[in-house]
Structure 1
Amino acid sequence: MAFRLVTRRMFCAVGETSISHHSKSRWEKLKNSKAGIWCRSLMSDYKEACVDMVVGVYERPVKASVCITVLGGALTCFFSKPDYSSFEVSLLERSNQLALLSSWIRNASSDSHVQNLLKLRNEGRLRHVNLGLLSLIYFTDHNPDSTLFEARCSSLSVIWREFPRRVMDVGFAGHWWILDSKMTNYDVNEDEFMYLPVHMQKTSPPTVQMVELNERLHRESWVALKLEAAEKETIEMPRSSTVET
């Protein structure tokens, strides 16, 4: 029994030694191969680059902070740029805001811009292009599903120098800037004031003194009038004379 146990242990030790030697030789072959040498050189290059970056940040903190700020701003703009679906949502919201107003007080510039965008959208002529940090909305002459010769012929396509005038909106940092600017004072009809004098067409915000004066006059308008004794006599005398006559 003891002889069998010693023999088993001897064979197990020999097997473990051969397996470890075989695995070590395989690891050495992989390590000294072309792929292993390339991976080791790549890791050493990345290690040196990281060390140089840390040293550069420590030696030039201002430059590093500027670079990090610019990179962070670019990443923020990249991930926050609006897409075509957000443009449609914004356009429909602006259209609903204008629909709640009467045509007498609706801003003509805002209304015409929104109605033009809705017309192009319904005709399928609006396009969206992603430029990385921003998005553009532009219009084309035909619907992409149109089978007209003008829409399919490449020789009749629009040249690139006409592209700037076809841009309808610019999406940047989560906003559509042209649409937002067109909706400024959308509830003010400027045509109502075109026949007024120039100095009355534009008003400036009131000063603090004017606001205080208006509030004081408003409070005084609710106070009952107090008449003096002489004023009361002058009021009563004509009344008595009319009664005697």
Structure 2
Amino acid sequence: MASWRVLRRTLCTAAEAAAAPVPGTRWERLKKSKVGVWCRGLFTDYKEACREVVVGSWERPIKASIYASLLGGTWACFYTRPDQQAFEATLLDCSGQLGLLSPWIRNGTSDGHVQSLGKLRNEGRLHVLSLGILALAYQADYDPDATLYEAQCSNLSVPWRELHERVLDVGFVGRWWVLQSKMKDYDVNEEQFKDLPADMQATSAPSVQEVETSERLHKESWLPLTVEEEEETETNVTDRKEEGESQIQALKEEQIQA
């Protein structure tokens, strides 16, 4: 009886194994696995999200254009964000421009700002902090390579709430704005004109009529003189000479009478 039961179980097991489906290829087994199911679900979610984006853009083009402009502008700001090497290169360029000028005609504001930044750079205290779409140049108390306790202790580092007081420049869209503004009119020394009257210190751009008159006079200066113009010029010179001599003679008579 026991042998009959064992034989029956063996036959049932063989029948179940024969009736079981034969496993497919490796790709089919991978698709039916947990990783395959998860990847298919992820692909389906992204597919639906992209479809909704396309449909929403088609239904609301103005809103889609605004979002696309914001994303493109953010990417452009991130791509053109200057770093510390760019700041040092700009600083050296400005220093070279000022070095080509005489100390008497340099702008005091430009020269002082560049000199202070150069001193901080030489001391290793000039750093640049990246904030994604912009960068901040600030001054630190110590060089990070210094072996002083105050420079290496993290508890004595500059707190974030004091960072705005140490900011020296702002880098945005490939430019350092404070340095560029300080270098405006770097070859004009305003100290040379402080003793002049107020109306002579301020200058204004010439009008269109003045520019046209200057251009016309410049073109006429290259034209050859005719005989009549030469005689007229000589007559004017002679009259001016006689007028000057008469004035000198009158001054001499006044001095003699006095």
**TM category, shorter:** 0.7 to 0.9
| Identical-pair percentage | 55
* 2:185 matched residue in structure 1: 185
Deviation, structure 1 residue 166: 1.0
* 1:117 matched residue in structure 2: 117
Deviation, structure 1 residue 65: 1.1
Deviation, structure 1 residue 186: 0.3
Spell out, residue by residue over 1:195-242, the C-alpha distance to the aligned partner (whole angstroms, 9 max, x if none): 2222222111010122234455664798641649xx8xx99xxxxxxx
* 2:142 matched residue in structure 1: 142
User: SS of the residue aligned with 1:24?
Assistant: coil
* 2:203 matched residue in structure 1: 203
Query: CA 1:46–1:154 in structure 2 vs 1: closer, same or farther (change >3 Å)?
Result: closer
Query: CA 1:215–1:41 in structure 2 vs 1: closer, same or farther (change >3 Å)?
Result: closer
Spell out, residue by residue over 1:14-68, the C-alpha distance to the aligned partner (whole angstroms, 9 max, x if none): xxxxxxx966254443323222221111111111111111101110111111111
Q: Which letter maps to 1:185?
A: D
Output the CA distance in 2 between the equivalents of 1:127 and 1:57.
43
Output the CA distance in 1 between the equivalents of 2:170 and 2:62.
32
Output the CA distance in 2 between the equivalents of 1:30 and 1:140.
57
Output the CA distance in 2 between the equivalents of 1:24 and 1:77.
52
* 2:8 matched residue in structure 1: none
Gaps of 5+ in 2: 1-20, 244-258
Output the CA distance in 2 between the equivalents of 1:23 and 1:95.
76
* 1:82 matched residue in structure 2: 82
**TM-score, normalised relative to structure 2:** 0.73
* 2:17 matched residue in structure 1: none
* 1:101 matched residue in structure 2: 101
**TM-score, normalised relative to structure 1:** 0.77
* 1:163 matched residue in structure 2: 163
User: SS of the residue aligned with 2:204?
Assistant: coil
Query: CA 1:24–1:154 in structure 2 vs 1: closer, same or farther (change >3 Å)?
Result: closer
Deviation, structure 1 residue 152: 3.4
Output the CA distance in 2 between the equivalents of 1:23 and 1:205.
88
* 1:36 matched residue in structure 2: 36
Output the CA distance in 2 between the equivalents of 1:125 and 1:30.
57
Deviation, structure 1 residue 147: 2.6
Output the CA distance in 2 between the equivalents of 1:208 and 1:166.
46
Output the CA distance in 1 between the equivalents of 2:141 and 2:100.
31
User: SS of the residue aligned with 1:51?
Assistant: helix
* 1:176 matched residue in structure 2: 176
* 1:126 matched residue in structure 2: 126
CA RMSD of aligned residues (A): 2.6
User: SS of the residue aligned with 1:136?
Assistant: strand
Output the CA distance in 2 between the equivalents of 1:116 and 1:34.
63
* 1:66 matched residue in structure 2: 66
Spell out, residue by residue over 1:170-216, the C-alpha distance to the aligned partner (whole angstroms, 9 max, x if none): 11111111111111100000111122222222111010122234455
Output the CA distance in 1 between the equivalents of 2:27 and 2:187.
77
Range with greater deviation from structure 2 (52-61 or 37-46)? 37-46
Q: Which letter maps to 2:165?
A: R
Count of residues in Structure 1 that have an aligned counterpart in Structure 2: 211
Query: CA 1:216–1:23 in structure 2 vs 1: closer, same or farther (change >3 Å)?
Result: same
Output the CA distance in 1 between the equivalents of 2:146 and 2:138.
18
Q: Which letter maps to 1:71?
A: L
